[in-house]
């Protein structure tokens, strides 16, 4: 897991497709190499985020589920 988190985004309580849309908006404002930590309670985001990251060439550094909350760390 990366020690450096440049941006944190909490989309807890939002349902598909909002967590992915919020992530895309934030990534568009980030510089290459920056790292974002995103939290969500939407289980569909697990597949959505993995697919999106693979399609656009970002790096999924960390993924965890704990008590219905999903945490992802992504490097642009």
16 is catalytic: yes
Q: How far is CA 36 from CA 4, 19, 64, in A?
A: 9, 13, 14
Of 34, 63, 36, 35, nearest to 48 by C-alpha is: 63
Q: Which of 14, 16, 30, 46 is catalytic?
A: 16
Q: Which residue has the tokens 């974002």?
A: 36
Q: Would you please indicate which residues are annotated as catalytic (active-site) residues?
A: 16
């Amino acid at each position: 897991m990366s020690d450096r988190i440049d941006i944190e985004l909490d989309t807890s309580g939002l349902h598909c497709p909002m967590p992915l849309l919020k992530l895309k908006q934030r990534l568009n404002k980030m510089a290459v190499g920056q790292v974002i930590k995103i939290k969500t309670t939407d289980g569909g985001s697990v597949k959505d985020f993995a697919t999106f990251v693979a399609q656009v060439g970002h790096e999924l550094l960390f993924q965890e589920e704990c008590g219905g909350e999903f945490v992802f760390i992504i490097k642009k």
